[in-house]
Amino acid sequence: KAEKGKTLPDVYHEMMDWMEIALERKGKQEGRSYLSLENIQDEYHAIAEADSLERSCFTLDEQALIMYRQMLYKASHPLERTSEAVLKDLYKQQDFQTGEAFYLSIDNRIDSLGLPERLTRKLHETSRKRREIEIENRSRKWLRPILSAIRQTPTLIAVDIKSLYGDESLLNLLRGVGYAVEPVMQE
Question: How far apart are the C-alpha atoms of 157 and 155, rounded to whole Å?
Answer: 6
Residue 115 pLDDT: 95
| pTM, to two decimals | 0.71
Taken in order 174, 176, 181, 187, the sign of the CA dihedral is positive
What confidence tens digit (pLDDT) does each residue in 55-81 have? 889 999 999 999 999 888 888 876 666
Task: Return d(Cα 52, Cα 58) in angstroms, integer.
Answer: 10
* CA distance linking residue 107 with residue 120, whole number of Å: 10
Asked whether the predicted pLDDT for residue 2 surpasses 60, the reply is no
Which tens digits make up the pLDDT trace of 90-140?
Answer: 888 888 788 888 877 777 789 989 999 999 999 999 988 988 888 888 899
| Model confidence pLDDT, tens digit, residues 4-51 | 677 766 776 677 777 778 888 888 888 887 777 887 778 778 888 888
